[in-house]
Amino acid sequence: MTGFSEKFYIIGHRGAAGELFENSLQGFEYALSLDIDMIEIDIREHSSELWVIHDHDLERLTGQAGLFEDHPDPSSIRLLNHEPLPSLRQVLDLSWGKMPLNIEIKAVEHLELLLDLLAQYPAVPAGEHLPWNLVSSFNHAALAQLKAAGCPWPLAPISSGIPLQTRVELEKIAPWSWHFDDEYLDFDQVRELRQQGIPSLVFTVNEPARARELKQRGVAGIFTDYPSKMMQID
């Protein structure tokens, strides 16, 4: 399935991080109500379970001191919007079959936890454009491990700077898409990937004018904190 179409993909970053609290069930419910194409979330492993949280330091998201991995019981963590920290299972229960999900791996040592959890959900008919589940990460080695393990879900490397070894990564991962930081975006790489049938998705884009420019220059879609105002990009 190719990721290219006349449609420009709008992906809610951490749900709708600029509109409701990031990576929260409330934010995901809101994002599901919008006419967007995908929701992006972040996952970390703790005690053989996967949790939806971006930072390893708890202070910004919870007001608590300490690191996520050192917390004795993630189920007792409360976000600053007073919701419990969601598990990946809760988010999948909420979104499965309703809207495609981009699951970004932040810190997962036992990748089989992700594969085993996703395998528990019923098959979903192929979507018209985006895959129902897209697994991405800055940790390209983890994506290569998933590929070697026979991961049935499409994979996507993320780059914070300008990637220097895209050819090697393409061979190891066979990505569905490549995700670029807008600050370091190289349009030559966007064109090269497009020629190989690989869409470029760019984060984090919150201004409609910039989104329109990216669309005109061959970018396939954006991650945005404000999906409600970016839905009508033309």
What would the mean pLDDT of 101-112 be, rounded to a whole number? 98
pLDDT digits (tens, 9 = 90+) for 53-97: 999 999 999 999 999 999 999 999 999 999 999 999 999 999 999
What percent of the chain lies above the pLDDT cut of 70?
Answer: 96
What the chain holds in terms of domains, given with CATH numbers, is: 9-230 (3.20.20.190)
Nearest Cα residue to 159 out of 196, 190, 194: 190
CA 234 to CA 224: how far, in whole Å?
16
What are 53's two structure tokens?
């949280």
Kindly state the average pLDDT of the residues 171-197.
94
Phi-psi label, residue 174: left if phi above 0, alpha if psi -120 to 50, beta otherwise: left
CB neighbour class for 147 (10 Å; exposed up to 12, middle 13-18, buried from 19)? middle
Quote the pLDDT of residue 126: 76
Task: Round to whole Å and give the CA distance between 80 and 163.
Answer: 35
Q: Is the dihedral of CA 60, 32, 179, 133 positive or negative?
A: positive
Q: Tabulate helix, strand, coil % of the chain (nearest 5).
A: 30, 20, 45
Q: Is residue 218 a contact partner of residue 187, using CB atoms and an 8 Å limit?
A: yes
Per-residue pLDDT at 1: 44
- The per-residue pLDDT for range 9-52, each reduced to its tens digit, is 999 999 999 999 999 999 999 999 999 999 999 999 999 999 99
Average pLDDT score over residue span 207-234: 95
The two three-digit tokens of residue 120, written as one number: 């528990």
